[in-house]
């Protein structure tokens, strides 16, 4: 993955959107003022602390998937101005900081350098690693002009006097310095270089130490600066800052990597579950389809139908739908045993038909269906419609009949709606009488008819 790289400065108010500036720190005079910078004689610069951190977290270590841990490398360089106030004695100090959050600890002025306080100092859970430039000698310091590596505490794990290198952090008259901090996540080594502004980076680091960040900082951490003043004060200014951080596999420029890692795990888990459900669903649908197909092509039913006298022809269901306009209500002629009768037209043969649609709710099984078709198929009379064909589709069966003149009386009854009531009553009486006579004829000529 491409490393993160940022170059910052000269600074102005737009940088408030990039940095978390913890008061009394400010961005002014083209610099990050880590502690206050004021010419107001009524404003005290003593006993202050501040922080300015890049408002973005980085994943600094992660599991490598093989039982080990990967640690991110980073490089940082910054131009600083640590100046005395009116050439008075300076104090306390400035630090380049790796922190677990953006919060400035309370009561972190003086010797605590804006890093810790009396409660959190030396606590291994505080997640603090820093490079300090200290200008005030405490009892645990080598002098008042030294560099130190701080782990969880302002008591440096390792320090070095800068006098031996010919460097004074806050000289009279002021002077800017460039600091380089290099950390190799593979070799677990930290190196810090320092030189006056305009000079090349020295060949030898001012401070070097072995350091496994995994053991000391949070997986997700922030980079920035902290500083403090005590009874003595100084100006702690950052004029330029460059930062390059290795992006681990689950990190991103936009979001914290651990969040992405958790999101990926959740998505993978949900994806596996959904895939399993999908496969189960496909299997169930496939089995259901095979069952319905088997039921629709039951050889026992087909064999029984083909043994009917005259062997009525099986007709495609789609042709039946077309003939009855998909069993439209306006084609409904009436209801009888086991189903509803519709009028239809076979356009290819130009034959009017009556279609009886058997439903699953009305007919209890194949035996009822076969019994109905067997009886109808055996009936023969000049006044009775004859079975022509049958059709089947899934759970619905249909039989087709010649649509003969007996249905015309119904059409006449419907069309006579606009005639006088007397005419309608007369037509209805005639139709009723015709139906009764027809039933008598069928009964007389078919002993099996009930």
How far apart (Å, rounded) are the C-alpha atoms in residues 151 and 160? 15
Q: What is the dihedral sign for C-alpha 221, 234, 28, 11?
A: negative
Give how far Cα 110 sits from Cα of 23, 88, 98, 231, 431, Å.
16, 16, 19, 7, 114
Listing DSSP states for 253-316 in one string gives SSS-HHHHHHHHHHHHHHHHHHHHHHHHHHHHHHHHHHHHHHHHT-HHHHHHHHTSTT-PEE--
Buried b (16+ CB within 10 A) or exposed e, 62-76: beeeeeeebbbbbbb
Residue from 150, 64, 143, 40 nearest 99 by CA: 150
> Is residue 81 within 8 Å of residue 174, measured between CB atoms?
yes
> CA triplet 295, 297, 301: central angle to 5 degrees?
85
Strands (E) across 42-128 are located at: 49-54, 58-59, 61-63, 69-71, 74-84, 93-99
357 assigned to a ligand binding site? yes
How far apart (Å, rounded) are the C-alpha atoms in residues 266 and 286? 30
Rg (CA), the chain: 47
Binding site for ATP: residue ranges? 357
Binding site: residue ranges? 357
């Amino acid at each position: 993955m491409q490393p993160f790289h940022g170059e910052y400065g000269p600074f102005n108010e737009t940088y408030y959107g990039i940095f978390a500036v913890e008061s009394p720190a400010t961005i002014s005079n083209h610099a990050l003022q880590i502690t206050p910078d004021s010419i107001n004689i009524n404003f005290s610069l003593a006993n202050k602390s501040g922080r300015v951190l890049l408002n973005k977290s980085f994943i600094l270590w992660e599991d490598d998937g093989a039982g080990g841990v990967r640690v991110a490398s980073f490089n940082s360089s910054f131009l600083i101005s640590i100046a005395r106030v009116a050439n008075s004695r300076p104090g306390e100090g400035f630090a380049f900081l790796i922190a677990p959050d953006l919060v400035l600890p309370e009561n972190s002025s003086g010797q605590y350098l804006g890093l810790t306080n009396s409660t959190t100092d030396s606590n291994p859970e505080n997640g603090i690693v820093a490079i300090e430039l200290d200008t005030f000698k405490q009892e645990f310091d080598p002098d008042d002009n030294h560099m130190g590596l701080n782990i969880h505490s302002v008591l440096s794990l390792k320090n070095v006097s800068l006098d031996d290198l010919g460097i004074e952090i806050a000289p009279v008259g002021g002077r800017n310095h460039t600091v380089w901090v290099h950390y190799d996540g593979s070799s677990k080594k930290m190196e810090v270089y320092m030189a006056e502004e305009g000079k090349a980076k020295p060949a030898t680091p001012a401070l070097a130490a072995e350091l496994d960040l995994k053991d000391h900082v949070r997986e997700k951490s922030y980079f920035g600066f902290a500083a403090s003043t005590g009874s003595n004060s100084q100006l702690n200014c950052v004029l330029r800052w460059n930062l390059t951080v290795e992006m681990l596999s689950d990190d991103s420029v936009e979001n914290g990597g651990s969040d992405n890692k958790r999101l990926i795990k959740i998505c993978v888990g949900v994806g596996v579950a959904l895939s399993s459900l999908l496969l189960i669903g496909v299997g169930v649908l496939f089995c259901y389809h095979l069952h319905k197909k088997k039921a629709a092509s039951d050889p026992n039913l087909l064999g029984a139908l083909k043994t009917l006298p005259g062997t009525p022809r099986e007709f495609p269901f789609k042709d039946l739908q077309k003939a009855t306009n998909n069993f439209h209500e306006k084609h409904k002629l009436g209801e009888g045993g086991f189903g509803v009768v519709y009028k239809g037209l076979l356009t290819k043969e130009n034959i009017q038909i009556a279609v009886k649609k058997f439903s699953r709710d009305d007919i209890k099984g194949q035996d009822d269906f076969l019994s109905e078709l067997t009886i109808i198929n055996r009936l023969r009379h000049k006044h009775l419609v004859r079975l022509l064909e049958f059709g089947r589709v899934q759970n619905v069966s249909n039989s087709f009949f010649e649509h003969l003149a007996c249905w015309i009386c119904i059409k006449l009854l419907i069309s006579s709606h606009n005639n006088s009531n007397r005419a309608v009553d007369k037509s209805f009486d005639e139709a009723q009488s015709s139906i009764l006579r027809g039933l008598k004829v069928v009964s007389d000529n078919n002993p099996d008819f009930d």
